[in-house]
Structure 1
Amino acid sequence: MKIGFLLKELRSLKGVTQLKIANLLNVERSTYCKWETDKVTIDIYRLKDIAKIYGLDLEFMCRCFEAQKIISRDDVLRAIQLAEAKTNKIPSLAR
């Protein structure tokens, strides 16, 4: 999978804009857009920040990033549901 697919799916499933996520990461929306479209490779530190925003395990994000394997929207949704079940709450995107 391309990491952009994962970023877009996570954002879409949470119903937030690119601008909202870019603001949480303290980057320009255009930079975030380039990550989603795989025009620019995201570094591991930003991936860690994104995992934290969504309440996901960094390990899941890294496996997707390293393997570059195709996963489905359902796989992404299951990862989010698992993270929510572990914390017993939906990760907040408000800061």
Structure 2
Amino acid sequence: MFVRIVKMGFQEEKIDEFLSNFEKNKSKIRNFEGCEFLELYRDKHNTNRFFTYSYWKDEESLENYRNSSLFKEVWANTKVLFNEKPEAWSVDKLVSIEY
């Protein structure tokens, strides 16, 4: 398993549109084969900046998603709302501590 982190900044007036699109598609993304976890975060101080954290079975699963019609539709509707270039990282989870 590995984690995909994506940082996105949105035009202030487009945030509701982004959140609506995410709400509409979050279950489809989470239920995509190989996706094991999905969360959306909002920066406390720069409230037009959001982060998605998703856990993937393997890199092939993420690539399958990125090549899917679902991703192409979601990304097409999302990228036009940006106010800055998005950034993405694929990282391996090394430690997780839960109480």
Shorter-chain TM-score range: 0.3 to 0.5
Which structure's residues are more often strand, by fraction?
2
Higher-Rg structure is 2
Which structure's residues are more often helix, by fraction?
1
TM-score scaled to structure 1, two decimals?
0.32
TM-score scaled to structure 2, two decimals?
0.32
Larger RCO (alpha carbons 8 Å, 6+ apart): 2
